[in-house]
Structure formats: structure tokens, C-alpha cells
Chain A
């Protein structure tokens, strides 16, 4: 077999000459191309996680010494064999609570974003003036940095802030809700902030899904006598199934990690009422400095999220790899 190399020479394989590493050879190119990414990820992902796992097996804390001590401590100190893990799951209620809170907050946010996004997208199917402008305006929340979002809503939710004022106008009597100082209200405030921030994404995705529903089945259903609602429920929504799953999975992946906004709004408080898993880990690692403990908590979270998300991605695996 004879192949041309980039230098114009001819490399002949199977003719006794030693095989040179030819970067042009089809076999090598993909591997070469993917190497930078692999290196980056190995150094910045795999290695840290191994490190985290190792540390989590110990009770190392930064005051004990440096990294090598930490590593070594697995062998020199008593190996806790997962005592951290044990403790976390069985005795530390805060950990499980944080997980639970994360799930509840995420589910509620996603559902709200879905409903509002879908509603807005349906509106956009109709004819009205200035669609482009409305469209851009409705997308703006998504563009704002999470930190800024957090600050803005922090201001708005103040005891003497505009939200209370507006509610006061609607209720015809002064409203003085302590949004950020009351457990339940703070939880709601966080959800409102997240929903405000990311509904535009659902709006965009739903709009694209709605536009992709073929027109003729809708007309066929109309001729068969279906009402608008029935058409929506039996024809349009089922056709959007894939798109809806994508939206939920992709945004779901991000919403469980929510940190910036919550940190700025409430720091996880009052008490622990808005302490999601991200905030709990932050507290453990950077306020209590219990790195090993935090490491084990983080590792469990890692395993859970990777497994769960892979499961969630399964239905849309094909779409993701091939493109819709």
C-alpha cells in the first residue's frame, strides 16, 4: 500500500522500511486532534477528582500541611475507610437536607420556566407588531451575569424594596414581607430569581419546537373538529416531546449547580433554608475548612450527578450526537 505524505514523498508500507509516524495518516489524526482536550481534562478534571477521592478518605485539613502530606496521609494516618462517607449519609442531616432542597428548588424552577416559556412561545405564534423588539427584550434576562442577577434581586427583595412596594399597591395596604429573612420567603425569592434568569432559554427552545410542528396534522385535526385546546394537547405537545426533554435535561443539569445567585441573595440563609448542595459544600470547604469532609460530600454528589445525568441524557443521546 502506497500513501502520499505531505512532503511529497512516498511512504511504502509493507516493503520492509520501518514505519514512520506520519501525522497525515488517517489513523493518527483524530487522536492527535483530541489530545489537547484530553490533556486539559485529565489535568483539570480527572486528577482533581482522584485527589478529592483520596483526601476524602482521610481527615486531612489544610492546617496539617501540604498536598504531599495529604496524599501521604492516606497511608500514614489511619485510613478512615469511608468514615466520612458513613457519617455524611447517616448522621449529618444537613447534607441530605441540602440535597433535598436542591432537588425541590430545581424541580419547581424548571416547571415554572417550562410553563412560562411555553406560554410566551405560544404567544409568539400569533401575529403582532414588533416581534423582533419584544423578542430581544424578553431574552435579556438570560444575558445578565449571575452575579448581577443576584445583586439586582437582592436589592429588589429588600424589606423596603420595590417588590414590597408593588405588592403594597396591589393589596391596597402596606406589605412588608421580610423576603430574605424568612425561611420560606427566601426560598421563594431564590426560585423567582432563577426563573427570571432562565425562562428566556425555555422560551427560545419552546419557540423552536413549536415552529417545527408540521402544519398539516394540525389542520387535519381542525377539520376533524378538534378544539384549540385539544389540538394543543394531542398534537402539538406530543410533537414537541424531544425538544421538551432536551430543555429539561440541559437546564436541569445547570440548575442543580446553582450557586452565584443564592450566595449573593442569602448566603444559604436564613439559617439553612436556602442551602442547596453547592452552598453546603462551599460552607464546609471554605468556611469551616473541613476539606476532607467536604471532599467526601463532593464526591458523593459527583457520582450521583454523573449517573443521574447520564440517565437523563439517554433519551436524547441520539439527538445530541447527530443533531436534530
Chain B
């Protein structure tokens, strides 16, 4: 059982009547890399500020190594923070930026020089130590910002939207860099982001948040494939998860969801809660989890095609399922025309059933591989 490095216990923050963070509980393991993911306003930045110490929680606790740090000022929590805009000190050289934290800790000059050289080497910015920030590009500035915190050897590293300020080409490079830093330093790293691709590509575990509460905290794989509620399902994945509204029906021991003329059979399994035939449900299934079948395959269903959009090697087919629409990715060249029907079969363990009102996941079978 891995050691818990950082733990948020019943953490809440209110600003007057607005509840920004609502009773969040997260336990982050040592040397783990996790992401706080959610749309703007979901509370992730507030949590970031509370972990670092720039804001105090209204209630709840924050524990590092098992001890509460609520009374510990930001500079002494041994946490490093890299801002979204890097916040490099523009009036100082790179060297002095890196040295800032060390000078505060009253290190001796030769030691400061050594640490700076090490970090600069590690982040490949040695040749820029004596330049001023206005001569540097975005990804170099980011490395200075990272270096500035790494040099103080924090035990926890927080990065706010690390990839959002970079151009596409830079992002891949920085992703590799970040993974290298993860591997080499063994620190506990927390990414805060609204970009699900960023989260999926960088983190072991993802905490998905919405409106101040934690929706799901699990490995990236699980959060992606086995979302606990409709929000999580919709937030991750591009193209997004399909949501098919309909009524639950049961015949001959097999369950299915029907809307209008379309029916999708549900895989066998228990339902997590009492759901009776006839109630409104929503089926969630990702486009890539649907494959072409022939009409008489078991477990398949047919839907009328609405539109076909070739996109290079793949084609996106939009079909209708009752009132909802459904997207499928098929190889280009597949025989299909608008107006036809197409037969699809879902991967049985990747179908989710959500309550139509609350969005909570109902079908429990097949989760947690």
C-alpha cells in the first residue's frame, strides 16, 4: 500500500453564498502523478490555491505526510507551484530567477551555484542562464518556471494548465519533458487542467470535478472507459461519448433500451440499483467502442444513417437513435449511404447505463478491470 503524500479531507471553500469547493476528499500517493480535471469554475483552481496555501479553506483539512498544514505558511509547505503564465520575474536574469528560492532559504553562494547548474542542465537551459526573460520563448520560460521550483527540491509539484500556453508543436515536446521529469525526480506531481487530453496523457490518476464536487477519482483508464456518471463520460473523450435516451425494456431475460424505432440491447449483468422496465435511462457508449456488424449478429442493433463525413483514413457516421444522435467511426471505404441503416455492435463491457435524471451510472457490471 503506497504511502499517502497529500490528502484533502472534507475540503470545502465558500465565498459568501457561492460554494466553490464542496466536501472534496482525495488521497494522493507518493510519487504519483495525478490530474485535477474539470471545466472552468469547477473549483480546481481554488483547490490548487488551498493546497499551496494562498487561500484558506472554509472547512476541512489538508494533510501532507499525515500532518495538517493549514497553519503552515505557503513558503514552508515544501510545495512547488508553476503558474499557467509562468510568472517568471521579468526584471531578473534566468539565473536570478532560479536562485530566488535558494536565497530565501539562505543557502551559501557556491551551493546555490551548484544547484542552479544542476537544474539548468536537467532542463536544458544552461546556455540561457544569463539572459533576461524577454529574450526567451514560451517553452523556455516554462522551463525556467519549472526550474525555479525544482531547485528548492519540493516534495509536491503543482502545475497549473501546463500545456495550454504552448503551440501544438511545443506541446508534444513538453509532454515528453514532463514525463521525463516525472520519471527522474520521483516527486508527487499534480496537474490542474481543463483539457482532458492533457490529463489523459500526463497523469496516472485523474480527479474529475464539476461545480466544486469530486465526480470521480480513478486511474486515467478507468475514468475514461468506466465513467461513474454522465458528466465524466461526456467530459472525457474526443469525439465525445454518445448518449442515447430511451426507455428500459425487458423481454426474455434480456434488457434493452428503446427509443422510437431503435433499440439497443444491453449486455447481461446486474443493475446497480433498482431500475424497473419502463423507466427513462440514458445509454452511454463511445464512438470507438462501436464496430460494424451485420444485422443478424447477436448483440447488434441497426440505426438509420443521418450523415457521413469522411475524415481521411476514417469516416464519421452520424446516425439517429430515437431523439438522440449517435456517432460511429468506421474505416473509410465502408459501404454505406445516407438513408440506409447501419448495423453496429458495442463492446459489451464498455456500455454504460445512466439514470436519465441524476446522470449516475446504473449498470455495474464490467467496471474496474
Q: Give residues in A with beta carbon < 8 Å to B.
A: 214, 216-217, 219-226, 230, 234-235, 238-239, 241
CB nearest neighbor in A for B100: A224
The A-B contact count (CB < 8 A) is: 58
Q: Which residues of B contact A223 (CB under 8 A)?
A: 52-54, 74-75, 79-81, 149
Closest to A221 in B: B100
19 A-B contacts (beta carbon < 8 Å):
A216-B83, A216-B85, A219-B87, A220-B81, A220-B83, A220-B145, A220-B148, A223-B75, A224-B75, A224-B100, A224-B101, A225-B74, A225-B76, A225-B105, A230-B104, A234-B89, A234-B100, A238-B92, A239-B91
Q: How far is the CA of A219 from the CA of B90 in the complex (A)?
A: 14
B 89-121 binary contact with A (CB < 8 Å = 1; else 0): 111100000001100110000000000000000
- Complex Cα gap A223–B75 (Å): 5
B: contact size bracket: 20 to 34
With a CB–CB cut-off of 8 A, which chain B residues contact A239?
A: 90-91
How far is it, in angstroms, between the C-alpha of A235 and the C-alpha of B92 when the chains are bound? 9
B100 to A222, Cβ gap below 8 A? no
With A and B bound together, what is the CA distance between A308 and B76 in angstroms? 49
Most buried by A among B53, B104, B152: B104
Q: Return the chain B residue nearest A219 by Cβ.
A: B54
In the bound complex, how far is the Cα of B52 from the Cα of A235, in angstroms?
20
Bound-state CA distance A234–B100 (Å) is 10
CA distance A285 to B83 in the complex (A): 64
- Taken together as a complex, chains A and B put the C-alpha atoms of A225 and B152 apart, in Å, by 10
**Residue among B88, B91, B92 with the most chain A CB within 10 A?**
B91
Shortest beta-carbon distance from A202 to chain B in Å: 22
* Minimal Cβ-Cβ distance residue in B for A220: B87
Residues of A within 8 A of B89 (CB): 217, 220-221, 234-235
Q: A222 near B152 (CB under 8 angstroms)?
A: no
| B104 and A226 contacting across the interface, CB-CB below 8 Å | yes
Query: Bound complex: CA of A230 vs CA of B89, how far in Å?
Result: 14
Most buried by B among A223, A224, A241: A223
Within 8 A of A (CB), among B51-83: 52-54, 74-76, 79-81, 83
Alpha-carbon gap, A221 to B145, bound state (A): 11
Minimum CB–CB distance for A210 against chain B, Å: 15
Q: Is the CB of B54 within 8 A of A225?
A: no
Output the least CB separation between B347 and chain A (Å): 45
User: Which residues of the partner chain B approach A220 to less than 8 Å between Cβ atoms?
Assistant: 81, 83, 87, 89, 145, 148
Residues of chain B lying within 8 A (CB to CB) of residue A214: 87
Closest to B104 in A: A225
The 6 closest A-B pairs by CB, nearest first: A225-B75, A216-B87, A224-B101, A238-B91, A220-B87, A223-B81
Which residues of A sit under 8 angstroms from B149, Cβ to Cβ?
Answer: 223-224
Whether the Cβ atoms of B52 and A224 lie closer than 8 Å is no
- Which partner residue on chain B sits nearest A218 by CB separation? B87
Q: What's the Cα separation between A248 and B148 when bound, in Å?
A: 34
- Contact (Cβ within 8 A) B91 A222: no
Nearest A residue (CB) for B81 = A223
User: With A219-B54, A220-B81 in contact, is A226–B75 under 8 Å at CB?
Assistant: yes
User: Separation in Å of the B127 CB from the closest CB of chain A?
Assistant: 24
Residue of B nearest to A239 (CB): B91
Residues in A with CB closer than 8 Å to B92 are 238
User: Which residues of A are found within 8 Å of B85, using beta-carbon distances?
Assistant: 216
Which chain B residues (148-194) contact chain A, with CB distance < 8 Å? 148-149, 152
Enumerate chain B residues within 8 angstroms of A225, measured Cβ to Cβ: 74-76, 101, 104-105, 152
CA A280 – CA B79 in complex, angstroms? Answer: 64
Instruction: Give, as a whole number of angstroms, the nearest-CB distance from A238 to chain B.
Output: 4
| Chain A residue nearest in CB terms to B101 | A224
Contacts of A219 in B (CB 8 A): 54, 81, 83, 87
Shortest CB-to-CB span from A299 to chain B, Å, is: 41
Q: Are B148 and A224 neighbours in the complex by a CB distance under 8 Å?
A: yes
**Interface-central residue, A214, A220, A234, A238, by most chain B CB under 10 Å:** A220
A217 to chain B, nearest CB (A): 5
Q: For the complex, give the distance between the alpha carbons of A241 and B87 in Å.
A: 18
Contacting residues, chain B, for A230 (C-beta < 8 A): 104
Q: How far is the CB of B45 from chain A (nearest CB, A)?
A: 12
How far is B92's CA from A234's CA once the two chains are assembled, in angstroms? 9
Residues from chain A with Cβ under 8 Å of B90 in the complex: 217, 239
Is the CB–CB distance between A222 and B54 below 8 Å? yes
Q: How far is the CB of B71 from chain A (nearest CB, A)?
A: 16
Residues of B contacting A221 in the complex (Cβ-Cβ under 8 angstroms): 89, 100
Measured CB to CB, the nearest residue on chain B to A225 is: B75
15 additional A-B residue pairs with CB within 8 Å, beyond A217-B89, A225-B76? A214-B87, A216-B83, A220-B81, A220-B148, A221-B100, A222-B74, A223-B52, A223-B79, A223-B149, A224-B75, A224-B104, A224-B152, A226-B100, A238-B92, A241-B91
CA distance A51 to B40 in the complex (A): 70
| Chain A residue nearest to B83 in the complex (CB) | A216
A221 to B148, CA, bound (A): 10
Tell me how far the C-beta of B103 lies from the nearest C-beta in chain A, rounded to whole angstroms: 9
